[in-house]
Amino acid sequence: MTPPRAIHAKLPAAQGYRMPAEWEPHESTWLAWPHFRGDWPGKFEPIPWVYAEIIRNLARHERVDLIVNDASSEKRARMVLEKADALSDTLADNVCFHRWRTDRVWTRDSGCIFLTSPADHADPRLLALHFQFNAWAKYPNYKFDEKVGVRMAQAAGAPVVHPFVVDSFKDKYRVVLEGGSIDVNGRGTLLTTEECLLSTTQQRNPSMDRAAYEQMFADYFGVQSVIWLDSGITGDDTHGHVDDITRFVAPNTVVTMVEPNERSENCAALHANLGRLKNARTAAGHKLEIVEIPMPHPVVFEDRQLPASYANFYIANGAVLVPVFNDPNDRIALNTLAEIFPTREIVPIYCGDLIWGFGALHCMTQQQPER
C-alpha cells in the first residue's frame, strides 16, 4: 500500500524533508480560541482565562497565531487577553489573529503538520502535511476543522501535501491521522500506539496495517524507526494518543508516565508501555534513556475519569508549559522537566477545568518550526 513508484521521488522524505522535534526552534505556535461550550458542559466559563494564561506565557517567547471564528469572536478574545495582560505593549505584536471558522480547538489534531527542508536546500521552506481529519471517528461536527490545516499552511506560505496510500485494488485513499497520535525525535524515530492506529475499532484507516503505517511515516515524515507502544490512558477520548503517555525530550530520551497504584486502571497499560520502551531502539540504534513521571491522582467529573496527564506538556522556544492539577505529583513533574530543560522556563498551567474537554496543553497547540 505504498504510493506508485513513479511519484515516490516526489514524496517529502525523498526530497529531504523531515518533521523536526518539538524542542527545535519555532516561528510560532498555533491555537484556536475556545467557543464550543459543548466541549466543556457546565465548565466553560474558566476556559477562556486558561487560554489567556497560555497565550500570555507563549507570547513572551514566540509568535502566537490565534484562530478566532469571526470579528465578534476576536473582540471577545481581545477583551479577555487584555484583562489577563496577554496583549500588553511588549506582547501585542506577538499575537496574530486569523478569522477562520472552527468546530473545536484541538489544533494539534485538526491542523497541519509542518516539515522542514534540509539546511543545504536551494530554497529553504516549510512543507505542510494535511491529513484527513474525521474528529476521532466520534463527532459529526468537523467540517470547519477539516479545513484548518490548509489555511494554516497558506498563512505560513507552505505548500500543502495530502498524504495518501494506495491499496491492493489500486484505489487511492487520503490518510486519517492526528498530530497527537505521534511524537518524533527529529532524528528519524517516531512514537505511536497500537490502540490508536491498529485497533479494529479506531475507524481511521481500516485498510492500513503496521507495515503500511511504517512506510507512510518513512515517505512523509522521514522516519526510519517506529516505536509502537500498546495503549493510552483511561478517559482518553482519542483511542490512545501517545502525547498523553510518552514524549521525546531529546534525541535518545523520553519522558513516560507510570502508575504505581496497582488498583488503577492505568497501571497495567503504562507498565506494558514501559517494557516496550526498555526494548526499543532509535533509528540510530541507541537505547532510550527513560525518565519516569508518576500520574496525577484520578481527575473525575460527573462520574467520568478524565485523561489528566503530565505528558501533555508543550515545548515552546524558551519555555515548557506543563499541565498541573493541584496534585502532590505536580511538583515531581515540574522538577523533573526543569532538570530536563534547564535553559527553558517551566510554566505550570492549571488544567483541572480544561481537561473536562478531554485535552490539555499539547492537544490545543501546534508548532510552526523555523524554516
The cell for 159 is 505548500
pLDDT digits (tens, 9 = 90+) for 8-50: 658 999 999 999 999 999 999 999 999 999 999 999 999 999 9
pLDDT above 70: residue 170: no
pLDDT score at 169: 60
Please report the pLDDT score of residue 258 as a whole number.
98
| Angstrom distance (rounded) from CA 221 to CA 13 | 6
Angle at CA of residue 257, ends 52 and 260, nearest 5°:
125
Considering Cα of 212, then 218, then 224, then 230, what sign does the dihedral take? negative
Active site residue 267: no
Task: State mean pLDDT over 281-308.
Answer: 95
The dihedral built from the CA positions of residue 229, 299, 297 and 290, taken in this order, carries a sign that is: positive
Find cell 516561528 and name the residue: 27
Contact 349, 361 (CB under 8 A): yes
- The pLDDT score that the predictor gives to residue 175 is 96
How far is the C-alpha of 75 from the C-alpha of 127, rounded, in Å?
32
What backbone phi and psi angles, to 5 degrees, belong to 44? -70, -30
pLDDT digits (tens, 9 = 90+) for 235-257: 998 999 999 999 999 999 999 99
Q: Give the pLDDT band (50/70/90) at residue 166.
A: confident
pLDDT exceeds 50 at position 6: no
pTM over 0.85: yes
Say how far apart CA 246 and CA 249 lie, in whole Å.
10
Average pLDDT over residues 310-319: 98
Question: Is residue 343's pLDDT more than 60?
Answer: yes
Model confidence at 349: pLDDT above 80: yes
The single residue listed with the C-alpha cell 506560505 is 157
Q: What is the pLDDT of residue 1?
A: 54
Confidence class of residue 152 from pLDDT cuts 50, 70 and 90?
very high
Assess whether pLDDT exceeds 50 at residue 59: yes
Residue 178 has pLDDT above 50, yes or no: yes
Angle (CA) 78-362-253 rounded to 5° is 145
CA distance 234 to 240: 9
**CA 159 → CA 84, 112, 113, 154, 240, distances in Å?**
36, 11, 12, 7, 30
Residues 6+ apart with CB under 8 A from 119: none
Q: Higher-confidence residue: 322 or 265?
A: 322
Statement: residue 7 has pLDDT above 60:
no
Supply the mean pLDDT for the chain: 94
What mean pLDDT comes out for the span 281-291? 97
Q: What are phi and psi of 74, to 5 degrees?
A: -60, -40
Please report the pLDDT score of residue 200 as a whole number: 75
With a cut of 60, say whether residue 147 has pLDDT above it. Answer: yes
CATH number assigned to the domain comprising residue 249: 3.75.10.10
pLDDT cut 70: percent of the chain above it: 95
pLDDT of residue 19: 97
- pLDDT average, residue stretch 204-211: 91
Counting the structural domains of the chain, the total is: 1
Strands 246-250 vs 225-229: parallel, antiparallel or unpaired:
unpaired
Which candidate in 112, 196, 351, 363 is catalytic?
Answer: 363
pLDDT at 8: 60
Q: Is the pLDDT of residue 331 over 60?
A: yes
Residue 284 pLDDT > 90: yes
State the pLDDT confidence band at 2, using cuts at 50, 70 and 90: low
pLDDT of 5 strictly over 60: no
Average pLDDT over every residue of 261-289: 96
* Percent of the chain whose predicted confidence (pLDDT) is above 90: 88
Domain that holds residue 226: 5-369
